[in-house]
Amino acid sequence: MRTLAFGFPRLGEQRQYKRLLEGFWSGSLTEADFLQGIATLKRERLREYEGMDIVPCNELSLYDPMLDTAVMLGAIPRRFQPYEGLTTYFAMARGRHALELTKWFNTNYHYLVPELEEPRFELQQNFPLDDVLFYRHHGAETVPTLIGPYTFLRLSKRVRPADSSPTAGAPLTDSELADFGAAVVPVFAKLLSSLAAEGVTQILVHEPALALDVPEEHWQLVHAWYSELSAHRVALWVLCYYDSVCDFQRYAELPVSGLGLDFVSNSENWHLLQRYGFPTGKTLIAGIVNGRQVWRSDLRERLHFLEELHRFCGDIVLAPSCPLAHLPVTTALEQRLPSGLLERLAFARERIAELRLLKAAWLGDSAALQAVHATSQLLHLPFARNEHVRQRLAALTEADFHRHPSAAERRRLQSQLLQLPILPTTTIGSFPQTAEIRRIRTQYRRGELSAEQYETAIRNHIRHAIAVQEELGLDVLVHGEFERSDMVEYFAEQLEGIATTEHGWVLSYGSRVYRPPIIYGDVWRPRPMTVPYITYAQSLTPRPVKGMLTGPVTMLLWSYWRQDISAEELAYELALSIADEVRDLEAAGIRIIQIDEPAFREGAPLKRRDWAEYFRWATRAFRLCHAKARPETQIHTHMCYSEFDDILDFIAALDFDVLSIEGSRSRGAIVDNFAALPSGSLQVGVGVYDVHSPAIPQQSDIEGTIWRVLHIVPPEAVWINPDCGLKTRRWEEVIPALRNMVAAAHHMRQHLAIRTTATRNEHDGTP
């Protein structure tokens, strides 16, 4: 029985990785100092992996492992050539026209999408070998990790050289997959020989894409590729995680020496293993401790499970279910968690300790066995229940998930009450989070500002934002979200049953980090969370101000959550708190409420067959938030930066009144599919301003996007807004951009008015 941990967070206990990258980018660190700092972080990883029998390398990417793979294989889009080391590397990652960022599987990590122009590859940079030699120099023998050819190609996109741009391209077709595979596998083979020549005997190959829906034609290719690769003198261990493998038997047949199985995401791998057995002669890399959630493992139960596994396979390697990168570094720094919580948690470092303990216990070490029993006893004590919440949940009936009257009827009432012009303009919620705002927040946290001083400062920003919006002539205003550092953490801090951490940072992409809250008990809302600031904003203007809430699905998915009740129940608990907030906002005179669900798509399981079940409860959770809203309260929702085309039916089932959605990067192309939505009731705001770019959109471009939308959606159902919140932009960019947006809306209104008059005249027979 051996142990292997992999994917330890790159960030470092003190977020050194972030500081190094940002220091280098800003010019305050020289390249030499930067690389020195990275080398230190690399060496520290050896300490984190201490006691593991197999220690991986090539894990400390300088931005993203998919980018590394593209660079390693020479897949450099023409606009970045020639490749000149770090400068090109970071240009691809974050320069002008950088590669596109997209969600990595069903996680909240974003990877850079490689653009494949031609089926031509070369071993451009041998990162794995460099790392093997680096660690050898420091006295450690490591096992290089790679993203395998299937995952690399499946998650890349094909771009014709002519339209090489971050937004162009599409996933590879089956025949492209074959062609590009035929070109890339020899480069992987060359890489393996170079490693073998240096005495490397084993490699870990990440193939999480084998947990997606993998069609038969793909399996044939994958099988052929691995036959070719296994001809080298290096033992290949394939790892597949985030879900069960798509086809257990096909997977088991792969001609490699080790196969990883995730026994945590769900129980399917285990069921299939019992049915089909494990191929003889192969090593099983058993993912038995959770790499996605922060709860300590029930080690007694895991030990028992290992015994079961052992009946099917003699050579087992204990491992986490997936890379540890989805966890914060360590619980050791947390000092303000609610009592009883800390001892139930395991972040990345503590997960590794669990693997060590499991192995020791397996070998019969009595201290380890005692420790194993002690943990399980603790974990079985009831924790943070709230009977009132449980009762509310139990009392829910079908009626609690259905809003009345119909969307069409609500629309009539709302338009009477709101009296908005056609093509109303609005924004998504946040306004620039300036250095000044971050400063007051830090000062308040440190106790340098009293609550009263802090609130006054926030109110001043709100007053400014309202004045700016009125001056710009926007129709529906927002308060600006200055009090929120993060749309999930802000609510998590105010809800009971959810803890926030001090140091629990996780990388979202590049050097960007966030701190997922931890939902540990029944969730409830002791007091209103947004009412004072929103009503203050509303008191400053006669125009409607939107109340801004984060939806239950996003709250859940961007947190860690307890596993003793279902995600569905937990989403309903969150939804009940949000429903209470909706009620309080209405009572305070707020007429429009937006419930953001940017993570709605991300929660979709990797395999289509599981979609219906996820979307069933995800939609119900959202509907629970607004089912009791007054008919005249207009409910908005917002989603961004995902593929929506294939989930429009699920989106429509949310039964909102207005949806705002990303659109500017595809110049409104997303709406082509809206033709399928029930028209006459739902309204859509298509983003006409790409908030992730500092460029200021021109009025004519915005009008172009609106025209495109108007071809599909009737003008009465169209809203005009940016793609997403404006918190990452500067006021100097936001004001001219919104001015152009409002001007475009006004201009289009005139057009529409002329058109309507003209048609009316035609009908009248008047010239």
Which residues are known to be catalytic? 692
Residue from 206, 344, 515, 727 touching ligand GLN (CB under 6 A): that is 727
* Least distance CB 723 / Zn ion (angstroms): 7
Alpha-carbon torsion angle 619, 625, 629, 633, nearest 10: -80
List all residues 6 or more positions away from 444 whose beta carbon is below 8 Å from its beta carbon.
Answer: 451, 453, 454
The residue nearest ligand GLN at its CB is: 725
Beta carbon nearer to ligand GLN, 95 or 532 = 532
Question: Is residue 745 exposed (0-12), middle (13-18) or buried (19+ Cβ within 10 Å)?
Answer: buried
- Tokens 């680096």 belong to which residue? 134
* Least distance CB 638 / ligand GLN (angstroms): 5
**Span between the terminal Cα atoms of the chain, in Å:** 89
Distance, CA of 541 to chain centre: 36
Beta carbon nearer to Zn ion, 300 or 484 = 484
Tell me the β-bridge partners of 287.
262, 319
Q: Could you tell me which stretch among 143-151, 373-381, 428-436, 671-679 binds ligand GLN (CB under 6 A)?
A: 428-436
DSSP-derived secondary structure for 248-284: HHHHHTSSSSEEEEESSS-SHHHHHHHHH---TTPEE
Residue from 113, 548, 590, 652 touching ligand GLN (CB under 6 A): that is 548
Q: Could you tell me which stretch among 373-381, 388-396, 412-420, 423-431 binds ligand GLN (CB under 6 A)?
A: 423-431
Two structure tokens written together for 763: 């009908």
Q: Could you tell me which stretch among 16-24, 408-416, 522-530, 723-731 binds ligand GLN (CB under 6 A)?
A: 723-731
* Least distance CB 725 / Zn ion (angstroms): 6
Distance, CA of 229 to chain centre: 33
Instruction: Tell me the CA distances in angstroms from 565 to 92, 145, 309, 439, one per residue in order.
Output: 43, 35, 26, 39
Residue from 9, 287, 429, 697 touching ligand GLN (CB under 6 A): that is 429
Nearest to 159 by CA among 65, 225, 70: 70
**Distance between CA atoms of 339 and 92, rounded to whole angstroms?**
45
Q: Could you tell me which stretch among 131-139, 198-206, 315-323, 719-727 binds ligand GLN (CB under 6 A)?
A: 719-727
Instruction: Tell me if 273 sits within 8 A of 248, measured CB to CB.
Output: yes
Instruction: Tell me the CA distances in angstroms from 592 to 547, 714, 723, 729, one per residue in order.
Output: 6, 22, 19, 25
Residue from 327, 488, 724, 726 touching Zn ion (CB under 5 A): that is 724
Going across the sheet that includes 560-561, the strands are: 496-499, 518-524, 560-561
Angle CA 37–102–697, to nearest 5? 100
**Distance between CA atoms of 592 and 478, rounded to whole angstroms?**
10
Instruction: Tell me if 553 sits within 8 A of 571, measured CB to CB.
Output: yes
Total binding residues toward ligand GLN, as defined by CB under 6 A: 13
Query: Residue 487: which of Zn ion, ligand GLN, none does it interact with, CB under 5 to 8 A by kind?
Result: ligand GLN
Q: Does 670 bind Zn ion (CB under 5 A)?
A: no
* Least distance CB 738 / Zn ion (angstroms): 16
**Distance between CA atoms of 449 and 452, rounded to whole angstroms?**
8
* Least distance CB 189 / ligand GLN (angstroms): 42
Q: Does 486 bind ligand GLN (CB under 6 A)?
A: no
List all residues 6 or more positions away from 123 whose beta carbon is below 8 Å from its beta carbon.
Answer: 72, 73, 74, 187, 190, 191, 194
Query: Residue 727: which of Zn ion, ligand GLN, none does it interact with, CB under 5 to 8 A by kind?
Result: ligand GLN
Bond from prior residue into 405 cis (ω within 30 degrees of 0):
yes
Residue from 486, 596, 655, 733 touching ligand GLN (CB under 6 A): that is 596
596-635 footprint of Zn ion as x/- string (CB under 5 A): --x-------------------------------------
Beta carbon nearer to ligand GLN, 14 or 728 = 728
Beta carbon nearer to Zn ion, 59 or 597 = 597
**Distance between CA atoms of 702 and 718, rounded to whole angstroms?**
14
* Least distance CB 691 / Zn ion (angstroms): 8
How many beta carbons lie within 10 A of that of residue 716, not counting itself? 13
Beta carbon nearer to ligand GLN, 259 or 553 = 553
Q: Which residue type occupies 50? A: E
Beta carbon nearer to Zn ion, 677 or 691 = 691
Tell me which H or E stretch contains 288. strand 283-289
Tell me the β-bridge partners of 286.
261, 318
Q: Could you tell me which stretch among 207-215, 285-293, 388-396, 592-600 binds Zn ion (CB under 5 A)?
A: 592-600
Beta carbon nearer to ligand GLN, 257 or 508 = 508
* Least distance CB 457 / ligand GLN (angstroms): 19
- Tokens 């990388």 belong to which residue? 507
Query: Residue 634: which of Zn ion, ligand GLN, none does it interact with, CB under 5 to 8 A by kind?
Result: none
List all residues 6 or more positions away from 759 whose beta carbon is below 8 Å from its beta carbon.
Answer: none
- Tokens 């593929």 belong to which residue? 643
Nearest to 734 by CA among 433, 424, 420: 433
690-709 footprint of ligand GLN as x/- string (CB under 6 A): --------------------
Residue from 516, 598, 603, 663 touching ligand GLN (CB under 6 A): that is 598
Instruction: Tell me the CA distances in angstroms from 591 to 7, 188, 417, one per residue in order.
Output: 47, 59, 9
Two structure tokens written together for 284: 């099983």
Beta carbon nearer to ligand GLN, 375 or 430 = 430
Beta carbon nearer to ligand GLN, 83 or 514 = 514
* Least distance CB 550 / ligand GLN (angstroms): 8
Tell me the β-bridge partners of 658.
636, 683
Q: Does 640 bind Zn ion (CB under 5 A)?
A: yes
Residue from 178, 487, 684, 688 touching ligand GLN (CB under 6 A): that is 487
Residue from 725, 734, 737, 742 touching ligand GLN (CB under 6 A): that is 725
Beta carbon nearer to ligand GLN, 108 or 290 = 108
Tell me which H or E stretch contains 60. none
Beta carbon nearer to ligand GLN, 259 or 742 = 742
Q: Could you tell me which stretch among 5-13, 166-174, 448-456, 721-729 binds ligand GLN (CB under 6 A)?
A: 721-729
Instruction: Tell me if 752 sits within 8 A of 422, measured CB to CB.
Output: yes
Residue from 244, 297, 430, 721 touching ligand GLN (CB under 6 A): that is 430
Sites for ligand GLN among residues 635-664 (CB under 6 A): 638, 640
Query: Residue 548: which of Zn ion, ligand GLN, none does it interact with, CB under 5 to 8 A by kind?
Result: ligand GLN
Q: Could you tell me which stretch among 146-154, 165-173, 605-613, 724-732 binds ligand GLN (CB under 6 A)?
A: 724-732
Bond from prior residue into 528 cis (ω within 30 degrees of 0):
no
Q: Could you tell me which stretch among 312-320, 422-430, 521-529, 577-585 binds ligand GLN (CB under 6 A)?
A: 422-430
Instruction: Tell me if 212 sits within 8 A of 607, measured CB to CB.
Output: yes
* Least distance CB 385 / ligand GLN (angstroms): 32
Beta carbon nearer to Zn ion, 350 or 690 = 690
Residue from 428, 488, 495, 745 touching ligand GLN (CB under 6 A): that is 428
Beta carbon nearer to Zn ion, 166 or 598 = 598
* Least distance CB 721 / ligand GLN (angstroms): 10
* Least distance CB 205 / Zn ion (angstroms): 35
Would you tell me which residues interact with ligand GLN (CB under 6 A)? Answer: 428-430, 481, 487, 548, 596, 598, 638, 640, 724-725, 727
Would you tell me which residues interact with Zn ion (CB under 5 A)? Answer: 598, 640, 724
